[in-house]
């Protein structure tokens, strides 16, 4: 099959590119934001038609959560209209694997979010990602949406790499302890995306939740990063209110992964084990 990966130089796109060698029965077309801007509907159509694309893995997204608050139109163009462009070009031709976010929820739950839980984004990024989901849910194109959370990788910029850098520059750091969730190693998610290519989408649900197993706070996550990497930096817990940011973030964003584990028949790695693998890879590089 011919597979198009959009946003191919991002964290997830890069992991998919690396892992695609293990799924070599398919032909892959990796396009980054320069070679294929998904807000350009004509170009999207051209790339999909000329290459006979049968599956699009949409890893392209406007992911700057704080910047989105002042750049709503840009965020909406990529996260909503970009998705619409992919759907229009895929109609009658192929299927879509799309990635969404825990930020579609308001963070007020006391139990892990199931796929059918009502959505109520509290920031612009989450709002625009939800609009993208709505286009998919209202489309006839065979699609799955995988919502994920707290993504990190050896590629790109993320919390793990920032902590490793700051940990080496400073003796102590303050990190928020009152936002709870599960990290996701983009490599683990990449394998799930690649594994889903051959599935019969007519037998699948529309939305799945995926993160690594286990629960943590940003504070505990930072402590684990320092411990695993052997960086001598003290981490102190602070409250969200003491670290103001332009965007509000959900306090609680744990995702219930029962459905994907059952329907995809997968075992999900524990977050600390995946973190160890990622840090090893970062150190090797």
Binding site for ligand NAP (CB under 6 A): 6-7, 9-13, 32-33, 36-39, 59-63, 78, 82, 99, 101-102, 129, 148-151, 156
Please report how close the Cβ of residue 190 comes to ligand NAP at its closest, in angstroms. 9
To ligand NAP, the closest distance from the beta carbon of 32 in angstroms equals 6
Contact between 224 and 282 under an 8 Å Cβ cutoff? The reply is: no
Closer CB to ligand NAP, 47 or 173, in the complex: 47
Report H helices in 119-269: 124-137, 159-169, 186-196, 218-229, 258-263
Nearer to ligand NAP, 25 or 107 (CB): 107
Q: Which of 265, 269, 186, 148 is nearest to 16 (CA)?
A: 186
Tell me which residue has its CB nearest to ligand NAP.
Answer: 10
* Least spacing, CB of residue 218 vs ligand NAP, in Å: 12
Spot the catalytic one: 125, 135, 185, 219.
125
The Cα 251–Cα 248 span in angstroms is 9
The answer to whether 185 is a known catalytic residue is: no
* Identity of the residue, 63 or 229, whose beta carbon is nearer to ligand NAP in the bound complex: 63
Centre a 10 Å sphere on the Cβ of residue 39 and count the other Cβ atoms it contains.
18
Q: How far apart are CA 85 and CA 35, in angstroms?
A: 16
Task: Name the one residue in this structure whose structure tokens are 């001598």.
Answer: 232
Collapsing DSSP to helix, strand or coil, 125 comes out as: helix
Comparing CB distances to ligand NAP, the nearer of 99 and 176 is: 99
Closest separation in Å from C-beta 36 to ligand NAP:
6
For ligand NAP, the closer of residues 66 and 202 by Cβ is 66
CA 228 to mean position of chain CA atoms: 23
- In whole angstroms, the minimum distance from the beta carbon of 247 to ligand NAP comes to 13
> Which stretches of 60-182 are assigned E, i.e. beta strand?
95-101, 143-148, 151-152, 172-176, 180-181
Residues carrying an active site annotation? 125
């Amino acid at each position: 099959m011919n597979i198009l990966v959009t946003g191919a130089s991002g964290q997830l796109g890069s992991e998919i590119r690396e892992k695609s060698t293990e799924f070599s029965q398919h032909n892959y077309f990796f396009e980054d934001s320069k070679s294929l801007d998904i807000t350009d509907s004509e170009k999207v159509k051209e790339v999909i038609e000329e290459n006979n694309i049968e599956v699009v893995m949409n890893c392209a997204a406007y992911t700057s959560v704080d910047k989105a608050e002042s750049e709503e139109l840009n965020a909406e163009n990529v996260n909503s209209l970009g998705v619409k462009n992919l759907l229009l070009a895929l109609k009658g031709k192929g299927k879509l694997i799309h990635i969404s976010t825990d930020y579609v929820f308001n963070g007020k739950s006391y139990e892990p979010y199931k796929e059918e839980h009502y959505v109520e984004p509290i920031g612009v990024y989450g709002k625009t990602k939800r609009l993208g989901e709505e286009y998919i849910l209202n489309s006839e194109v065979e699609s799955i949406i995988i919502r994920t959370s707290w993504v990190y990788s050896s590629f790109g910029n993320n919390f793990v790499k920032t902590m490793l850098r700051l940990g080496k520059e400073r003796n102590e750091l303050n990190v928020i302890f009152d936002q709870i969730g599960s990290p996701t190693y983009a490599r683990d998610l990449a394998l799930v995306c690649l594994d889903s290519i051959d599935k019969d989408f007519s037998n699948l649900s529309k939305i799945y939740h995926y993160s690594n197993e286990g629960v943590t706070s940003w504070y505990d996550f930072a402590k684990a990063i320092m411990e695993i990497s052997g960086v001598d930096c003290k981490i102190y817990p602070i409250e969200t209110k003491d670290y103001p940011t332009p965007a509000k973030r959900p306090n609680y964003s744990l995702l219930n992964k029962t459905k994907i584990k059952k329907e995809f028949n997968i075992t999900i790695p524990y977050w600390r084990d995946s973190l160890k693998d990622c840090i090893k890879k970062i150190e090797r590089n």
